[in-house]
Chains A and B, each alone.
Chain A
Amino acid sequence: MGEAIVITSGKGGVGKTTTSANIGTALALQGKQVCLLDTDIGLRNLDVVMGLENRIIYDLVDVLEERCKPQQALIRDKRFDCLHLLPAAQTKDKSAITPEEMAAIVNELKPDYDYLIIDCPAGIEQGFRNAVAGADQAIVVSTPDTAAVRDADRIIGLLEQEDIPAPKLVVNRVHKQSSNKKDEDMLDVDDVASTLAIDLLGIVFDDESVLRAAHKGEPVATTPNTTASLAYRNIARRILGESVPLLSVETKTGFLAKVKKLFGIEA
C-alpha cells in the first residue's frame, strides 16, 4: 500500500510543481514505484515540467466521468518505467471534481504504487481541498520571503485541521550568498523554519539548472552534479527514512579556505 504525499504552499510560484516533479523523479531514481498526480485543473503544468505534455490522451476529469479507466489515463515517464503521471484536465476548472472523488481516485491508485505525489494548486479554495482530501502526508514548500512564509503559515494551519501528521517543510530557492551570513534585510532558512515551526525536510538552492531543466522538460533531479539535483535526491532519501545532513552552504570552498577555517582565520 503506497503513501500519498501532497505538495502544497498556499502562494503561487514558489515551486510546488517543480518540487513535485523532482521529488517524484528522485524517488523513482531510488527504484520506487511513483505516481504523480496533477490536481491543478485548468492550469496544469506538471506534465510540461516532466516533458510529457504531448502524450496526454485522457486526464483526471476523464477518469472521474468514467470515459476511461485510471490506468488508461496514466502516462509512463520517458526515462523511468516506475514513474507515472496522471495529468489534470485543462478545459475544466477546480469545481469539476469534489474532495470525495479525489480521495476515491487516490485510494484506487495507492495499492499499485509506493508513493503518490499530489501536486496541489495555489490558493486555499476547492483546488486545495481536493488535493488534500486523499493525502496521508503533506509537504509545504516556501521560499525565503515574507509573503511566501505568511501563506505557508496559513496553509499549515489548514493542514493541521486535516487528519494527517504535521507537514514537513521544503525551503526552495535559497540564495547561496544570503544563507551563510546573517543579513537582517533577508529571511534565512532558520527564520523560515522557526516561524513555521515544522520539521525541515530539505533546502533547495536557487539554481539556474532548475530553469534549464524545466525548459528541456527533464526534471533537474535526473541531471547529476547540480546542487538543486542533489537537494531533491536528498529530500527523497529523507522521505524514505534515511538521515541525510542538510546541504552545507559552503560547498564550493577550496582547500586553502578549509585550512584557514580550521585555524579560525576568516577566509
Chain B
Amino acid sequence: MKTSFSNQLVTIKGTKEGLVIHLDDKCSYAELIQELKEKMTESRIGSEHDKGLHVHVRVGKRYVDVEERREIQATIEQPGTIIVSDITSEVMTKTEALEIKEDEQTHSYARLVRSGQVLSVKGDLLILGDVNPGGTVEASGDIYVLGALKGTARAGVEGDEAAVIAASVLLPAQLMIADRLYLTSLTRTERAEEAAYAKPRYACIKQEEIVFNHMSSLATLRKQRTANA
C-alpha cells in the first residue's frame, strides 16, 4: 500500500484574495476527485454563514480539460454558498499555446492584396504593399499598411473595439473595427486627388464612431491601450 494518503492531496488555505484550494498535481485524477469529495463533505466550509463564498482553485502543473474542469467545479460548488471563481493551471496544451502566440503575433506580408483577394489573420497584420480596390484584409487585432489602403479593411473582427487600422495612404472603400462600419463618401475623382497628397493616418473608434487621425497621435493611443489592458 502506498503511503500517499499521508500526504494531503487537497489543501485549503485562506489568503488575502480569498479562499484558495490547492490540488496536488502528482497523484491520479481519480484519487484527487475522491479526496476532494471527502474534503468538501467533512470540511465545514459552505455552512450557512458562508453565503456567496468565492473560491479560487489552483491545480498546479496538472492539465485539466473542459470535462475535468466541470467536474472539479461541480464537486466544490454548492448552490448559493460556494462559487468557484476560477480554476488555474500552470500548464496548457500546445494548441492553446500556439493559439495565444498567433493572437499576439504580428503577421507581416510583403505583397499586394489585389481585387478579389482576401487576406485574413489572427493577431495583428502588417502589409508591405498596397491593398487595391476590391481587395480585403482582416485581422483580429490591428492592421498596418505600409502602402495605399484602397480596398476594404476589417480590424478587431472578433470584437476588439480598441483595434486600429493604419496606412501610409488611408483611402479605403470600407473600414470595419469590431462591429462599427465606415463607408467612404468620396467620389472616385476626390479619392484620386486625395491620394496624391495623402499623409499617413490611422482609424480607430472614438465615441462609437470610426474616426481618422494623424499617425503622430497613434503612440499616445497605444500607450493608453496597454495601460487599460
A residues in contact (CB < 8 Å) with B: 146, 150-151, 153-154, 156-158, 160, 184-185, 191, 195, 197
CB neighbours (8 Å) of B112 from chain A are 197
Question: Interface digits, B173-195 against A, CB 8 Å rule (1 contact, 0 not)?
Answer: 00000000000000011001100
Partner of B115, one of A153, A160, A191: A153
Decide if A184 touches B193 in the complex (CB within 8 Å): yes
Decide if A150 touches B115 in the complex (CB within 8 Å): yes
Q: Does B60 contact A (CB under 8 A)?
A: no
B114, B132, B188 pick with most chain A CB within 10 angstroms: B114
Decide if B133 touches A157 in the complex (CB within 8 Å): no
Decide if A191 touches B114 in the complex (CB within 8 Å): no
Partner of B132, one of A153, A160, A184: A153
A132, B130: Cα distance in complex, Å = 25
A152, B120: Cα distance in complex, Å = 22
Residue of B with least CB distance to A187: B192
Q: List 10 A-B contacts (CB under 8 A).
A: A146-B188, A151-B115, A153-B115, A154-B115, A156-B114, A157-B114, A157-B116, A157-B117, A184-B193, A197-B112
Question: Interface digits, B135-176 against A, CB 8 Å rule (1 contact, 0 not)?
Answer: 100000000000000000000000000000000000000000
In the complex, what's the smallest C-beta–C-beta distance from A153 to chain B, in angstroms? 4
* A197 and B115 in contact, given A184-B189, A191-B192 (Cβ under 8 angstroms): no
Q: Does B200 contact A (CB under 8 A)?
A: no
A95, B227: Cα distance in complex, Å = 60
In the complex, what's the smallest C-beta–C-beta distance from B94 to chain A, in angstroms? 31
B116, B129, B135, B189 pick with most chain A CB within 10 angstroms: B116
Decide if A185 touches B133 in the complex (CB within 8 Å): no
CB neighbours (8 Å) of A197 from chain B are 112, 129-130
Question: Interface digits, B59-99 against A, CB 8 Å rule (1 contact, 0 not)?
Answer: 00000000000000000000000000000000000000000
CB neighbours (8 Å) of B114 from chain A are 153-154, 156-157, 160
**Other 11 A-B pairs with CB < 8 A, given A157-B115, A184-B192:** A150-B134, A153-B116, A153-B133, A154-B114, A154-B115, A154-B116, A154-B134, A184-B189, A184-B193, A195-B132, A195-B133
CB neighbours (8 Å) of B192 from chain A are 184, 191
Decide if A153 touches B188 in the complex (CB within 8 Å): no
B residues in contact (CB < 8 Å) with A: 112, 114-117, 129-130, 132-135, 188-189, 192-193
What are the 4 closest A-B residue pairs judged by CB atoms, nearest first?
Answer: A157-B114, A153-B115, A154-B116, A154-B115
Residue of B with least CB distance to A153: B115
CB neighbours (8 Å) of B116 from chain A are 153-154, 157-158
Residue of A with least CB distance to B117: A157
Residue of A with least CB distance to B111: A160
A83, B132: Cα distance in complex, Å = 39
In the complex, what's the smallest C-beta–C-beta distance from A159 to chain B, in angstroms? 10
A150, B135: Cα distance in complex, Å = 10
Residue of A with least CB distance to B196: A184
Residue of B with least CB distance to A152: B115
A185, B192: Cα distance in complex, Å = 9
Decide if B189 touches A153 in the complex (CB within 8 Å): no
Residue of B with least CB distance to A195: B132
Residue of A with least CB distance to B116: A154
A146, A150, A151, A158 pick with most chain B CB within 10 angstroms: A150
CB neighbours (8 Å) of B132 from chain A are 153, 195
CB neighbours (8 Å) of B193 from chain A are 184
CB neighbours (8 Å) of B130 from chain A are 195, 197
A132, B141: Cα distance in complex, Å = 37
A160, B116: Cα distance in complex, Å = 13
A150, B173: Cα distance in complex, Å = 14
Decide if A185 touches B189 in the complex (CB within 8 Å): yes
A153, B117: Cα distance in complex, Å = 10
Partner of B133, one of A150, A158, A160: A150
In the complex, what's the smallest C-beta–C-beta distance from B133 to chain A, in angstroms? 6
A191, B193: Cα distance in complex, Å = 12
A197, B114: Cα distance in complex, Å = 10
A157, B117: Cα distance in complex, Å = 7
